[in-house]
Amino acid sequence: MPQTPSNEIRFVLPEYYKKQLKEIAYQGEFRAETFATKFRFFFLGMIFIFSTLGLLSGRPVVEYYYQISAILILLSYNFFVLYTLKKSGKYLNIFKFLSSFLEISLLTFVIGYTAQAQKNPSLVYAAPMIYVFFILIALASIRNNTKTIIFAVVVLIVEYASLTIYFYPEMTDLNTKLIELSPYLKPNFLEKNSNFFLVSAIPMGIFLILMYMVVTGGLILYAIVNTSRTTHEQADLIFNTEKQAILEENMHLGMELEVARQIQAMVLPRNEELKEIKELEISARMDAANEVGGDYYDVVHHEDGTVYIGIGDVTGHGLASGVVMLMTQSAFITTLRSKVISLRESLRSLNSILFSNIHIRMNDIRNLTLSLFSYKNGVFTTVGQHETIMVYRHTLKKTEIIDTVNNGMLVGLTESIDEFIHEKPIPLESKDIILLYTDGATEAENQKREQFGSHRLIESLERHIELETTDAILDAIFKDIYVFIDGMEVYDDITIMIMRKRE
HEC string for 330-362: HHHHHHCCCCCCCHHHHHHHHHHHHHHHHHHHC
The strands making up 280-287's β-sheet, listed across from edge to edge, are: 280-287, 494-501, 433-437, 389-393, 398-402
Contact 64, 54 (CB under 8 A): yes
pLDDT value for 128:
47
Q: Give strand ranges (E) for 19-136.
A: none
Structure letter (DSSP) for residue 95: H
Mean pLDDT score of the chain, rounded to an integer?
77
Q: CA-CA distance, 75 to 38, in Å (whole number)?
A: 11
Q: CA-CA distance, 72 to 48, in Å (whole number)?
A: 10
The CATH 3.60.40.10 domain(s) of the chain lie at 269-501
Per-residue pLDDT 10s for the chain (503 aa) are: 334 444 444 445 566 666 666 766 677 777 777 777 777 777 777 778 777 877 776 767 877 887 788 788 878 877 887 788 777 767 777 777 787 787 777 777 777 777 776 666 666 655 445 555 555 555 555 555 667 777 777 887 788 778 777 776 665 555 455 555 555 554 444 344 443 333 344 444 445 445 545 665 565 556 656 665 666 665 666 666 666 666 676 676 667 667 666 767 777 888 888 988 988 999 999 887 765 667 889 999 888 889 999 999 998 766 788 788 888 988 898 888 776 678 999 999 999 999 999 988 888 888 999 999 999 888 899 999 999 999 999 999 999 999 999 999 999 999 999 999 999 999 999 999 999 999 999 999 999 999 999 999 999 999 999 999 999 999 999 999 999 998 888 878 899 999 999 87
Contact 133, 104 (CB under 8 A): yes
Q: Is 405 exposed, middle or buried (0-12, 13-18, 19+ CB in 10 A)?
A: exposed
pLDDT value for 474:
96
Q: Shortest CA distance to 264 belongs to which of 313, 311, 323, 315?
A: 323
Q: Is 357 exposed, middle or buried (0-12, 13-18, 19+ CB in 10 A)?
A: middle
What phi, psi does 372 have (nearest 5°)?
-110, 145
Q: CA-CA distance, 52 to 59, in Å (whole number)?
A: 9
The strands making up 295-301's β-sheet, listed across from edge to edge, are: 295-301, 307-314, 368-376, 379-383, 423-427
Q: CA-CA distance, 476 to 466, in Å (whole number)?
A: 11
pLDDT digits (tens, 9 = 90+) for 384-393: 999 999 999 9
Q: CA-CA distance, 428 to 281, in Å (whole number)?
A: 13
Look up the CATH number of domain 269-501: 3.60.40.10
pLDDT value for 360:
86
Contacts with 294 (C-beta within 8 Å, 6 or more apart), sequence order: 313, 314, 315, 316, 317, 318, 321, 322, 324, 325, 366, 368, 493
pLDDT value for 193:
46
249 Rama sector, left if φ>0, alpha if ψ -120 to 50, beta otherwise: alpha
pLDDT value for 437:
96
Contact 373, 381 (CB under 8 A): yes
Residues in the chain: 503
Q: CA-CA distance, 169 to 115, in Å (whole number)?
A: 13
Q: Shortest CA distance to 406 belongs to which of 389, 391, 423?
A: 423
pLDDT value for 133:
57
Amino acid at 170: E
Tell me the sheet residues that pair with 393. Answer: 398
Helix, strand, coil percentages (3-state) for the chain, rounded to 5, are 60, 15, 25
From residue 448, alpha-carbon distances to 439, 441, 451, 487, 493 in Å are: 19, 17, 9, 12, 20
| Angle in degrees, CA 288, 291, 292, rounded to 5 | 70
pLDDT value for 13:
55
